[in-house]
Structure 1
Amino acid sequence: MSTPTIDRLEGSRRTARTEASSRQISRAEGWRRRGPLLPALIFTIIVTQLPFLLTIWYSLHSRNLLRPESDLFVGFSNYLDIARDSTFRQTAWNSVVITLGCVLVAMVLGIVLALLLDRPFFGRSVARTMLITPFLVMPVATSVLWAVALLNPTYGLFNWTLGLFGLEAVDWTSTYPVVSILMALVWQWTPFMMLLVLAGLQAQPKDVLEAASVDGAGTWLTFRLITLPHLRRYIELGVLLGIIYVVNTFDQIYLMTAGGPGTASANLPFYIYQRAFLGFDVGQAAAMGVVVVIATIIVASAALRLIFRSFEVKE
């Protein structure tokens, strides 16, 4: 074998050894960085994925707490039963109405309040603190406050205000149960939306606004063409987080209306609670829980894709 051929073979071997060594170093570096996160990952899997797998197992069985001996494998029978359940469809629609109604109204109010707080005025820090307070109140306290102090048909503040104008008192939680829940949720979640939008407003480049003002753009034109596109990712993030959290609303419904009248104001989490802890039907409740989780993952994945796409477009 000629000397040039031997040199090329030796060079190829050295290159291969160098690449293998680099891959080992890179792999070791990766494990060194990910190693401290492994306990958190293992803990997350234990407390989230294992219960979810157990829920799936329960959803495939006919299991009733009053009859433990009747635990039978029924396959997808529970899923077929809830597909034919008119109450499940009604509570699913209530979940959509309550979630979207709360998130959209809270976002609109949050944008308005953020625009007001972004302007300098006397007492702005006090006003900002007061507006943030509702988000810091526990949901149980919020529910009691709205059900007893504001919406009570006898001595609630709303009916007292109606009485000043000569109007009759309204039993809000019985006559307008969904609206009553929405008012309490919007009051609680508007500060969260306001904070997100306010962060976006304060991150907006001031030189762009000054240039628009010099060019003669009015307030509305500047907001529509410059400020609102800049706030898009903040608004999308607020809507996504709001949907994820509000769809799991339970406290307000349990304490304000108990899902009534009948199931007029019940959402999916409350109906699942009724099936599991009042009807003792663990199998169907587990199937409903699996359906809700899958639907939430689909919506969240689609929303995250939109948010990431907006980041890519801006970059």
Structure 2
Amino acid sequence: MKQKNGGWIALFLAPACILFILIFAIPLVMVFVTSLFDYRLLPRTFTFVGFSNFVQLFTEDNRFWPIFGNTVKWLFIHCIFHVTLGTLLAFILYKKPRGWKFVRVTYMIPNIISQSAIAMIFLNLYNAQYGAVNSFLKLVGLESLQHNWLFETATAFPSVTLTWFLFAGYTTTLVLAQLLSTDESLIEAAEIDGATSFQIDRLVMFPVVKKMIGTTVIMAATYMLQLFSMLYITTGGGPGTVTTNLPLYLYTTMKANNYGYANTIGVVIILLGFITMTLIRKIFGMNKED
């Protein structure tokens, strides 16, 4: 009986495994392999150079470390502050205050709009000539605070960060769903024992949703490690490298017809993602089954 079941299991898993190998595993191996080559299309070049691309990236490329720093900063901001914001809102909404369903739905709306559309919205909001931000500052007599927000070195990084920082809808939705599905007897027992609302949140509810919060942190890290269109549309990575991250740098390197070097950057992104995910799982006590 087990042998028959094993055959059916293999049969039904085969399509998914084949797709995984073709779409994910083979391209992943190709990224690692081609990072060891001087790989260009015009003129056609495919010369083995070993770890020369990595040596150049880490020791000779003056742009790499500032760009790497931007990526790490955004990872930290998104995984810590962004998720915290969404979690706090979830803890407020699970107590079902007046209008909580309306807030839940409206707060999710920006997360279902494409990155490109949101980028265009903020590109217009920040516009130096007619944008709403500068227009409001002028209206209230604060012309001295007006800036070309996305294209001045001092303001570009925080301005770009704000285009996604406030929209923690996925975190709020997932954590709220876990909170609302928790057995109410846990809360009732804590209330009988004399626990305050804050103590219930900290000692009862937070442990219940801890792993879900960890999941949203992983989602936030993944989002940051593939963020591209938002930066490309708003600033193009400028001024200089102030708002350039590793995915955008990989893209510009590919446009320069240096595919081997671009895939070297891709390897760094993969390794950074692996290290980040490992740390998150360790911090939140998540095992391989979570």
Which position in structure 2 is the counterpart of 1:93?
A: 69
Which position in structure 2 is the counterpart of 1:288?
A: 265
Q: Which residue of the other structure, out of 135, 141, 147, is the alignment partner of 1:166?
A: 141
- Closer/same/farther in 2, CA of residues 164 and 214 from structure 1, 3 Å limit: farther
Q: 1:302 Cα deviation (Å)? A: 4.0
| Runs of 4+ with deviation above 4 angstroms | 305-312
Q: Secondary structure at the match of 2:47?
A: strand
With structure 2 as the length reference, what TM-score do the two structures score? Answer: 0.90
Do structure 1's residue 242 and structure 2's residue 220 form an aligned pair? yes
- Closer/same/farther in 2, CA of residues 200 and 292 from structure 1, 3 Å limit: same
Q: 1:311 Cα deviation (Å)? A: 9.7
Task: Map 1:103-252 onto structure 2 (within 5 A).
Answer: 103-148=79-124, 150-168=125-143, 169-175=146-152, 176-188=155-167, 190-252=168-230
> Which of the two has higher C-alpha Rg?
1
Q: Secondary structure at the match of 2:257?
A: coil
Q: 1:229 Cα deviation (Å)? A: 2.0
1:258 and 1:266 in contact (8 A); partners too = yes
Q: Secondary structure at the match of 1:232?
A: helix
Unaligned runs of 5+ in 1: 1-24
- Closer/same/farther in 2, CA of residues 102 and 63 from structure 1, 3 Å limit: same
Q: Which residue of the other structure, out of 56, 59, 64, is the alignment partner of 2:40?
A: 64
Question: CA separation in 1, counterparts of 2:76 and 2:169?
Answer: 17
Question: CA separation in 2, counterparts of 1:234 and 1:109?
Answer: 15
Q: Secondary structure at the match of 1:172?
A: coil
Question: CA separation in 2, counterparts of 1:162 and 1:257?
Answer: 22
Identity %: 28
Q: 1:216 Cα deviation (Å)? A: 2.5
Q: Secondary structure at the match of 1:262?
A: coil
Q: 1:304 Cα deviation (Å)? A: 3.6
Equivalent residue letter for 2:229: D
- Closer/same/farther in 2, CA of residues 220 and 162 from structure 1, 3 Å limit: farther
Q: Which residue of the other structure, out of 28, 35, 51, is the alignment partner of 2:11?
A: 35
- Closer/same/farther in 2, CA of residues 305 and 108 from structure 1, 3 Å limit: closer
Q: RMSD value over aligned CA atoms? A: 2.1
1:201 and 1:227 in contact (8 A); partners too = yes
Question: CA separation in 2, counterparts of 1:211 and 1:151?
Answer: 51
Q: Secondary structure at the match of 1:71?
A: strand
Higher helix share: 1
Do structure 1's residue 265 and structure 2's residue 243 form an aligned pair? yes
Q: 1:308 Cα deviation (Å)? A: 5.6
Q: Report the count of equivalent residues.
A: 284
1:173 and 1:257 in contact (8 A); partners too = yes
Q: 1:52 Cα deviation (Å)? A: 2.2
Q: Secondary structure at the match of 1:75?
A: coil
Q: Secondary structure at the match of 1:173?
A: coil
1:233 and 1:311 in contact (8 A); partners too = no
